[in-house]
Amino acid sequence: MASEHVISLYRKRLGSERGWVKKDWGGRLRIALVYPNVYRVGMSSLGFQWVYHLFNSREDVVAERAFLPDGHEMSLYRKAGNPLLSLESQRPLKEFHLIAFSLSFENDYPNILTILELAGLPLEAAKRRGAYPLVAAGGILTFLNPEPVSQFFDFFIVGEAEPQLDAIVDMLYEGVEAGASRDDILLSLARNIPSVYVPQFYEVSYAKDGTIEEFRPNGEGLAHRVKVARCPPDHLAIARSTIQSPDSEFSDMVLLELGRGCGRGCRFCAAGFAYRPPRFQKETRVREFIKQEGVKGTRWGLVSSALSDFSHLEELGSFILEQGCSFSVSSLRADSISTDLLSGIKEAGQRTVTLAPEAGSERLRQVINKKLKRSEILEAVSSVAEVGDLHLRLYFLIGLPTETREDIEAILELAKAIKHNMVKIGAPRGKVGRIKLSVNCFVPKPFTPFQWTPLEQVEDLKEKQKWLKKMISKEGGIHISFDVPKWAYIQTLLSMGDRRVGRILSLVHSYGGDWKKALKHSDLNPDFFVYRPKGMGEILPWEFLDHGIKKDFLIKEYNKALANKSTPACNPEKCTACGVCPVG
């Protein structure tokens, strides 16, 4: 009975969507594409939607979606014990050849185990034999550090999807058609596709102090390092969301990727290093795409890790408006804002402009290589106020390496100066935009110059939040929000941990999501991964991944941070400093 209610719920959901794909299963490779969070969150992910499009662009593939059930939906599954179903055809996930997860956020990791359990699969890859589908994962987390979840997956699709999906699909299709065993298919993938990582074919040994002693392949024909796939600029298609749903965060717009990667070199930012070199679409190509694909009234969500670095962003916005459409932009750099761009944003209907100073003091912005002067930030704020009817959202980090009390106080002082500018210019016009500060805890990430640094003590982070909240509330006219330090602790554990952390995830699952209980009963000390500074010479859990970034470069960047020295932005045509771009 419960499955009938779920089927009815899913069919109603499909009825509200536009752009989903339904295919006959006959003779096709069946892929269940899973986002390990609820439908609303998953359908707001451009990467998830784009991979769905890439899979279904192949005639020999049928790809359907699945999500973590939410609320009433979850209770229906739990009560009846029915297996988790796909959205498009309402078939059990166990009937697919491949279950492919899209991993974007570490805090979604426990949901992976919940979904596998609901699907009726053993949680650990080693226990899934015979007719069980293969379970894989892609997404940015797989080419930062897949090790904490490695025991739950048969293989990882490492790097960007475009240059490797076809080869992977071909090999899977051939294996399924030939009736090959799962181990034979996995071995073929690992040996023939440099960007596929199969954890069972690699062994890790540990030293007495708990650090990694050796990471090695355990079979012939296996590479010592897994190459991270990267799409060349001339092969980069214009990624966009292909399904519109009223139940997603971006229900009223089509997301459009203008570029991938960022060359600014902010030392805390994983995306800025993992997606090197930065690659942008040509404005003429984007214009032609919008002209062909858009209809009057379309709202385009323009996204990129470095949107302000897209050539002719202001002109593109004007073109979109001329087409009878509107647009919205993600975060902008304070040193790239113009009143003309802001006027276009306002005309397009967007009411909030997002800037990310990250730190309150120029000294700390120098440390993190966020090359923004106080004067540039205030000038951008003045431009926002001059255009009028625009609100301001500002992102800051606390707990950054070398941070002092003066740096925290500088956040308050900068916020006061921003408010002063907004009021001074906006008040005579009868309208002052709202100011919102979003203050998050710095979490160290792999493949960044800060990968060797620990998380600041949770209690210290709480104290800084408490002080900022008190002082900002005294100021008035500024709204401030914070993330939760205990979740920053968990995120650091899952970002910086090795494959042993999978044991903690298993405990979390067995304790119904109770992290406190799981950490208390774990035989591992989580502080080892979270609060311990890493040695420059030790083997880090993710170093088997080959991004092309030289470790010496990251060490130099770390030392430059400690010396308050900045590094120029990427110039892929001339610079070979980090190692990603070939010489010449």
> Three-state SS across 40-53?
HHHCCCHHHHHHHH
Whether the pLDDT of residue 575 is over 70: the answer is: yes
- Looking from the CA of 233 toward its CB, the CA atoms found within 13 Å total 14
With residue 137 as reference, give the H or E element that holds it: strand 134-138
Tokens of 90: 């309402």
What is the per-residue pLDDT for 574? Answer: 85
pLDDT at 572 (0 to 100): 87
Q: How far apart are CA 357 and CA 374, in angstroms?
A: 9
Residue 500 C-alpha from the chain's centroid: 23
Domain 2-227 CATH assignment equals 3.40.50.280: yes
Task: Please state, in angstroms and as integers, the Cα–Cα distance from residue 108 to each residue in 263, 274, 309, 519, following that order.
Answer: 28, 20, 31, 17
**For residue 450, what is the DSSP state?**
T
The amino acid at 576:
T
**For position 131, what pLDDT does the model report?**
87
Percent of the chain residues topping a pLDDT of 90: 93
- For residue 366, what are the contacts with CB-CB under 8 A and spacing of at least 6? 564, 565, 566
Asked if residue 75 has pLDDT above 70, the reply is: yes
| pLDDT 10s digits, 135-180 | 999 999 999 999 999 999 999 999 999 999 999 999 999 999 999 9
Looking at the chain, the whole-number percentage of residues with pLDDT higher than 70 is: 99
Residue 212 contacts residue 145 (beta carbons within 8 Å):
no
- Rounded Cα–Cα distance for residues 462 and 473 (Å): 16
Fold of 327-487+548-562: Transcription Regulator spoIIAA (3.30.750)
> What pLDDT was estimated at residue 349?
95
Dig out the tokens for 51 from the structure. 């991979």
| Residue written as token pair 């799409």 | 231
> Mean pLDDT of all residues in the chain?
96
pLDDT at 583: 63
List the beta bridge partners of residue 327: 300
Q: Read off the pLDDT of residues 76-101 as tens digits, 9 standing for 90 and up.
A: 999 888 999 999 999 999 999 999 99
State residue 582's pLDDT score: 79
How far separated are the first and last CA of the chain, in Å rounded? Answer: 65
What pLDDT sits at residue 73? 95
Average pLDDT over residues 36-51: 98
CA–CA distance, 28 with 328 (Å, rounded to integer): 38
Non-local (6+) Cβ contacts of 467 within 8 A are 408
pLDDT grade, residue 109 (50/70/90)?
very high
Q: How much is the pLDDT for 534?
A: 97
Using 50, 70 and 90 to split pLDDT, how confident is the model at 426? confident
Query: Distance between CA atoms of 283 and 390, rounded to whole angstroms?
Result: 26
From 121, 147, 114, select the one nearest 135 (Cα to Cα).
121
Predicted local confidence at residue 113, as pLDDT: 98
Packing angle, helices 165-178 and 182-192, rounded to 10: 150
E strand residue ranges, 308-376: 326-329, 352-358
Please report, for residues 75, 154, 249, the alpha-carbon distance to residue 79 in angstroms, rounded to integers and kept in the order given. Answer: 6, 30, 29
Burial 98-125 (b: 16+ CB within 10 A, else e): bbbbbbbbbebbbbbbbbbebbebebeb
Model confidence over 291-309: pLDDT tens digits? Answer: 998 788 999 999 999 999 9
Please state the domain extents for the chain. 2-227, 327-487+548-562
Q: Determine contact, residues 348/321, Cβ cutoff 8 Å.
A: yes
Q: Which of 144, 129, 135 is nearest to 33 (CA)?
A: 135
Locate 108 and state its tokens: 């979604």
The yes-or-no verdict on residue 584 having pLDDT over 60 is no
Residue pair 10/85 in contact (Cβ under 8 Å)? The answer is yes
CB atoms under 10 Å from CB of 535, counted, come to 11
What is the model's pLDDT at position 2? Answer: 58
If you average pLDDT over residues 318-327, what whole number do you get? 96
Average pLDDT over every residue of 437-447 = 98
- Give the model confidence (pLDDT) of 169-217 as tens digits: 999 999 999 999 999 999 999 999 999 999 999 999 999 999 999 999 9
Q: Using one digit for the tens of pLDDT, what is the confidence trace for 456-492?
A: 999 999 999 999 999 999 998 999 999 999 999 999 9
Position 471 scores a pLDDT of 97
Mean of pLDDT values over 487-511? 98
